[in-house]
Structure 1
């Protein structure tokens, strides 16, 4: 999802720059080639794994249905193992079975796609490398200067320590996700400004991620040495309760590192004349039966090391900068806690509360 938004944003910036440098005119429509966008990976952790297929479209596109549905999506390795992924409803997301194919360090993996229009796509094969373990995960309380809201200035920086292997050519990407228990699965704002909502039919956790935070590193200058105080994220002072955080250290390929480095450059673009163009992040996929067809995204084979931490926020000063709490009428109907990127009924792996 975030990759598609990055591409659209950069195309719009380029368009704005071009229009601002020529005599103003009113075009009937602006067209860009329809291209496939692929997001997915296989890891050495248990699945299921998912691959999301979407499409670019004209700026004047009205439907907003950008999902690539009805495709045949297959993950295979160099030993002949393979699995055809099952498309989820409402479509565009293809998932392996819970007991299906699993990544193994040392094997190479690739993705093949056949769309219902007959186009065939394939990723370059990638060798999966095991990730070194996370040696330490810790946090420090800090107060930033400036700003009118003292609660917003407070936070806990989460850091990671690890050890790079002796072999040169290791590349890293760090991701995180926060789980927070919620009793409200639907909410809306009333005309008077108050929030009302409906409870969850089962236990439910909201999931928070940072979709435009791209944290990368390589061992080009520190081969075989310790990686210390790698900043993962900053925990906000929105409550005095503990903040449950899962951190993922990924061992990625050189190609994946270069791809995400390019994406990170696009995210930080200011729209200047010398900013990189979106086409510079096409990734490791190509169209087999039409080499001129563009395809964006990356399919990676990734080694993963994970660890969790509970950040104690009871030492924050003053009143937290808390979000409004919806009022749930009693008794009330309940809403199903659907499993998605943003919410899950499944208890987090290390949840202790």
Structure 2
């Protein structure tokens, strides 16, 4: 009996050792999965336009980066950027700090309806890029800018901003609408204190406004079916109920070219895809800029020439139904100056008083 138990033990021990060696062998043969990094050639990205309103006009240059940089675009510095028209007028833009942004002079070139404009770019590396000529179209004025209250038990209180205008009798007019919200802020730096559910802030050294835009709200229209007729109740934006204070919004009505209309329509289609079965496959949106020194090189973006009509609106939210969805309050321990922080002009903040601000 003892011999039999010892034999069984040896069999189980040998089986266990074999199983352990098998597991170790399998583990040693498995290589951790490392997905390939998707690489794309570094390409120039151009953003900017001229209009029939006074400048300065801004052109932003960057380069696409490899996905190992988390799709960060790198600033294209040290370039020579020139805007010219078909009458022989031109202006070389000045690069702004920290770089990658180029501007005309405040009293420099101004676009004129009916003239064509192009941009040429000479990079620090010696490559030359240029856009196709872009004719600056005239645009009708905004006739009416107004808002209506929207309240539902499910969605709560909002306000719809609407626009009326009149399309000219000539066929071939294309429109794009943008909006910008400005809100006065007393704090140029805020830190959230979870223990108190408040922000503590440091005041701005000067008057300062926070800026809100919607970068994926691409609102377009053409006069293919409405030539010469009124454009009524054109949706612009939806105002949130985050306060009972007035909501200040500026609206741009842009007259754009057929090429710009096609470009932004493609961008809108790609950004609105939900990943469904019948969505359009991702693709490169073709702009109007090409590389002269290396034909066939991909260049992203669009240089536009636009007619511009601008309006403003104060939305009165004092009679909103229900309670505003307010943020946590901000306490400024040092309301006097100093100490304070400079209000730095950027995409999200400005020290320049909005054109129609009255408060």
Is TM (by shorter chain) over 0.5? yes
Mapping 1:12-23, distance limit 5 Å: none
Partners of 2:40 and 2:260 lie apart in 1 by: 26
Gaps of 5+ in 1: 1-23, 148-152
Mapping 1:1-353, distance limit 5 Å: 26-61=34-69, 64=72, 66-147=74-155, 153-190=156-193, 192=195, 193-272=197-276, 275-330=279-334, 333-353=339-359
- Compute the displacement of 1:282 (Å): 2.4
CA contact (8 A) 1:262 1:280 kept: no
Which residue number in structure 1 is paired with residue 17 of structure 2? none
Q: CA RMSD in A?
A: 1.7
Based on CA coordinates, which of the two structures has the bigger radius of gyration? 2
Partners of 1:273 and 1:288 lie apart in 2 by: 39
Partners of 1:61 and 1:299 lie apart in 2 by: 26
CA contact (8 A) 2:78 2:124 kept: yes
- Compute the displacement of 1:273 (Å): 5.8
Partners of 1:292 and 1:248 lie apart in 2 by: 35
CA contact (8 A) 2:142 2:253 kept: yes
- Compute the displacement of 1:340 (Å): 1.5
Partners of 1:349 and 1:262 lie apart in 2 by: 32
Partners of 1:323 and 1:55 lie apart in 2 by: 37
Gaps of 5+ in 2: 1-31
CA contact (8 A) 2:131 2:290 kept: yes
CA contact (8 A) 1:46 1:102 kept: yes
Q: 1:66 to 1:186 in 2, by over 3 A?
A: same
Partners of 2:33 and 2:169 lie apart in 1 by: 59
Q: Secondary structure at the match of 2:265?
A: helix
- Compute the displacement of 1:267 (Å): 0.5
Q: How many residues align?
A: 325
Per-residue CA distance 1:247-277 (angstroms, 9 max, x = gap): 1000000000000000000101123465445
CA contact (8 A) 2:144 2:163 kept: yes
Moved over 6 A (4+): none
Partners of 2:175 and 2:256 lie apart in 1 by: 6
- Compute the displacement of 1:338 (Å): 1.1
Q: 1:124 to 1:278 in 2, by over 3 A?
A: farther
TM-score by length of 2: 0.87
- Compute the displacement of 1:201 (Å): 0.3
TM-score by length of 1: 0.88
Partners of 1:310 and 1:160 lie apart in 2 by: 14
Partners of 1:52 and 1:253 lie apart in 2 by: 20
Partners of 2:94 and 2:329 lie apart in 1 by: 38
CA contact (8 A) 1:282 1:294 kept: no
